[in-house]
Amino acid sequence: MLTRRALIASALAAPAAAQVDLGFGDNPLRSTTRAFPQKGEMILQRSTPPLLETPISVFDAHDFTPNDRFFVRWHYPFPTEIDPARHRLRVDGHVGKPLSLSLAALARLPRVALAAVNQCAGNGRGMFAPRVPGAQWSNGAMGNALWEGVRLKDVLALAGVNAGAVAVRCGGLDAPLVEAAPDFAKSLPIDQALSDDVLIAWGMNGAPLPLLNGFPLRLVVPGWYSTYWVKMLDHIEVLAKPDEGFWMAKAYRAPANALADIAPGAPAGPVQPVSAMRPRALVTNIVDGAKLPPRGLTPIQGVALGGDQGVKAVELSADSGASWLPAQLGPDHGRYSFRRFRGALALAPGKHVILARATNAAGVTQPLVQNWNPSGYNRAGVDPVRVEIG
């Protein structure tokens, strides 16, 4: 007879899943998984469609997040076999000449490589207090990569954008299971679509995009949240009217103020599409709640992003922000990249709260008080790290 105890014992004996404690809410434990193609050990948030989170320790070890540890987020099912020779990118709508481009045709345009952070608008949602519905991410729904491809504006120039264009809608090969559900498509305002930095990428850290990160082509919108970074891109449509589709008009909207911030329970007020990211610093070598042995200076290190600007400074505090110590910044890979930082704080035996805050090149500094909104978007405040020395 297979008893409950025997079942539990055999589950424990299986090589599978380690558990990680994300440290928030009433259900902080997640399994890790190695079951996904081209992926190493990831935190399993959902299997289908997959939501895979990057463990924070990965950021501690790399400027560029390895492809096999890069987070994954899909709204809908997607094809698991794609023949790159047959893939076509359609460009149509408000253009002079509709196109259907093969990967080979795209590769004939001038090539660009650019380092940029891809961060889900809901990164850190699990830590929102009061809690909000949606994927309960810790801070690992982001990653940094060197993206290689061509400029969206060069592709649009091939098709010839007509006067009066206001937006560029992008869609991929994934599709909802039920016909009534709205296909995933995101639109960039025309000036953003025509900016130098927006790419159609096929390469990620020197390799083809992993399937789960959008093989064979994805949009890269540096400085903007990754909801716009459409994967398995196969359709670009130039619009002469604003996009009224569900994913622009209804979803991914946040309070229309700089920090997307409202008081919990307050009336919703005006909202706007999420777009540019905010500066953030994240301590990666100490987990919240850690106990550390006493030493003269406790090393602190982590990663920062500047949002849509470069990182100008990261500062550390162990006295609730009364005084700040500048951290040393690591290599500069460009304004949209992660920038690693390190410093050290003199921490006496006892309990401490370590704060790390980023300031970007526009002079925007991370606030000490967390922002809040009912969708859990645009987390921007400092994430305190509690430690006990001794």
Ligand X SMILES: Nc1nc2c(c(=O)[nH]1)N[C@H]1C(S)=C(S)[C@@H](COP(=O)(O)O)O[C@H]1N2
Residues that bind Mo ion (CB under 5 A): 73, 120, 227
- Sorted by sequence, the CB contacts under 8 Å of residue 295 that are 6+ apart come out as none
Q: Which residue is nearest to ligand X (CB)?
A: 172
The span from the CA of 201 to the CA of 231, in Å, is 10
Binding flag, residue 248, ligand X (CB under 6 A): no
Closer CB to ligand X, 198 or 230, in the complex: 230
- Considering beta carbons, is residue 120 or 382 the nearer one to Mo ion? 120
Q: What is the total residue count of the chain?
A: 390
Nearest 5°: the CA angle 308, 386, 53 is 50
Q: Which of 41, 53, 148, 174 binds ligand X (CB under 6 A)?
A: 174
Please say whether the beta carbons of 169 and 243 come within 8 A. yes
314-332 burial: b if 16+ Cβ within 10 Å, else e: bbbbbeeeeebeebeebee
Is 273 an interacting residue with respect to ligand X (CB under 6 A)?
no
Give the pair of three-digit tokens for residue 240: 């002469």
Q: How far is the CB of 232 from ligand X (least distance, A)?
A: 5
Q: Which does 280 bind (CB under 5 to 8 A by kind): Mo ion, ligand X, none?
A: none
Which residues fall within 8 angstroms of residue 81, CB to CB, at 6 or more apart?
Answer: none
Which two structure tokens, joined as six digits, stand for 184?
């995933």
DSSP result, 4-48 = HHHHHHHHHHSS---EEE---SS--EEEEE--STT--SEEEEETT
Instruction: Return the range that interacts with ligand X (CB under 6 A); candidates 22-30, 230-238, 291-299, 333-341.
Output: 230-238
Candidates 34, 46, 62, 75; binder of ligand X (CB under 6 A) is 75
Least gap, CB of 201 to Mo ion (angstroms): 17
The entry of ligand X, Mo ion, none near residue 62 (CB within 5 to 8 angstroms by kind) is: none
Nearer to ligand X, 71 or 341 (CB): 71
Which listed option, Mo ion, ligand X, none, makes contact with residue 71 (CB within 5 to 8 Å by class)? Answer: ligand X
User: How far is residue 332's CA from residue 182's CA, in Å, rounded to a whole number?
Assistant: 40
Name which of 132 and 325 has its Cβ closer to Mo ion: 132
Residue with tokens 């994430």: 383
Alpha carbons 262 and 253: distance in angstroms, whole number? 13
Q: Is 229 in the site for ligand X (CB under 6 A)?
A: yes
User: CB 243 → Mo ion: shortest distance, Å?
Assistant: 18
Q: In this complex, which beta carbon is closest to ligand X, that of residue 231 or of residue 335? A: 231
Q: Does 73 bind ligand X (CB under 6 A)?
A: yes
If the CB atoms of residues 215 and 225 are measured against Mo ion, the closer one turns out to be 225
The residue count for binding ligand X (CB under 6 A) is 19
Query: Which range touches ligand X (CB under 6 A), out of 38-46, 221-229, 258-266, 326-334?
Result: 221-229
Q: Which of 304, 366, 379, 377 is nearest to 337 (CA)?
A: 304
Bridge partner list, 344: 299
Give the separation between CA 370 and CA 285, rounded to whole angstroms.
22
Residue facing Mo ion at closest CB distance: 120
The 10 Å Cβ neighbour count of residue 346 is 10
Residue 172 binds ligand X (CB under 6 A): yes
- Summarize as ranges the residues that interact with ligand X (CB under 6 A): 70-75, 118, 120, 172, 174, 184, 213-214, 226-227, 229-232
